[in-house]
Amino acid sequence: MSEVPQEEQQPRVVIRDKRRIDPTSGAVRAPAGEQPVGAPSGAHPRGDQMSEQQTPVAETTASAADGDLAQQLAERTEDLQRVTAEYANYRRRVDRDRSLVVDQAAERFAVQLFPIVDDIERARDHDELTGGFKLVADRILGLLEGLGVAAFGAAGDPFDPALHEAVIHDTSADVSVPTATTVLRQGYRRGDRVLRTAMVAVSDPETPVPASPQAEPQGPDGTSRKAEPAVRSTLRGGVR
């Protein structure tokens, strides 16, 4: 039996160099199975294949992100338009309410001045509007004019229940329709709104205007409907 050499019976020692830095060249070593640092991209076909597979996924992700951004932009734009419309409606309501408050305040102030204006008009009728009183009266009347308040009601105006308050009634042959012949107190209005009606004496015509006779209804053949019963009676008599 041959003897095994002593050198072959000893276990073999394998030394693996796992250092990341090559002691000879000083370059960085790449781990096993990876592309060495500084090696051209074409050295590993597997890496190119993985890059080609990742490209469609990246494009799909980018498309989905663009779609989400477009949807978010549309939603934000719609919200902005809604808020803008609501703010415009709010501004219109505020302006309308402010104008209404100003008008109501002006009308209340004018109504408080009416008794003073009545005294001024009575003083004018008695030629007592002189001196300092006339200066004050002119300022008060200027206030009413500045508020847009105008007086109405004059002798000879046709009587209008919406503008006049009749306190005296009589008849006259000089008028053909109810007429305000005497103005006892002037009325005032601001624009189309009547603030105070005029107090007047009304004269009615002595002979009222006769009402226009109503035309007699006619049948389809042009004959009067009132004659129809007589015609029917005649026809019935002939039948008998």
* Count of structural domains within the chain: 1
| Residue 33 placed within a domain | no
Task: Give the pairing type, strands 198-205 and 164-172.
Answer: parallel
Helical (H) or strand (E) element with 34:
none
pLDDT for 181 = 92
pLDDT for 14 = 63
pLDDT for 229 = 45
The residue behind tokens 């549309």 is: 74
pLDDT for 152 = 93
Sequence-ordered strand ranges (E) for the chain: 149-152, 157-158, 164-172, 179-185, 187-190, 193-196, 198-205
| Residue 102 placed within a domain | no
Within 8 A by CB and 6+ apart from 141, the residues are: 117, 120
pLDDT for 67 = 76
| Residue 170 placed within a domain | yes
Task: Give the pairing type, strands 193-196 and 187-190.
Answer: antiparallel
Would you write out the chain's pLDDT as a tens digit for each of its 240 residues?
455 555 555 666 666 767 777 777 767 676 665 555 555 554 454 555 455 555 565 666 767 777 788 888 889 999 999 999 999 999 999 999 999 999 999 999 999 999 999 999 999 988 888 888 899 999 999 999 999 999 999 999 999 999 999 999 999 888 889 999 999 999 999 999 999 999 999 999 987 655 555 545 555 555 555 444 443 443 344 433
Number of C-beta neighbours around residue 183 at 10 A: 19
| Residue 41 placed within a domain | no
| Residue 202 placed within a domain | yes
| Residue 155 placed within a domain | yes
pLDDT for 235 = 36
Within 8 A by CB and 6+ apart from 91, the residues are: none
Within 8 A by CB and 6+ apart from 3, the residues are: none
| Residue 32 placed within a domain | no
| Residue 192 placed within a domain | yes
Query: Which CATH number goes with the domain that contains 161?
Result: 2.30.22.10
Give residue 185's domain range: 149-206
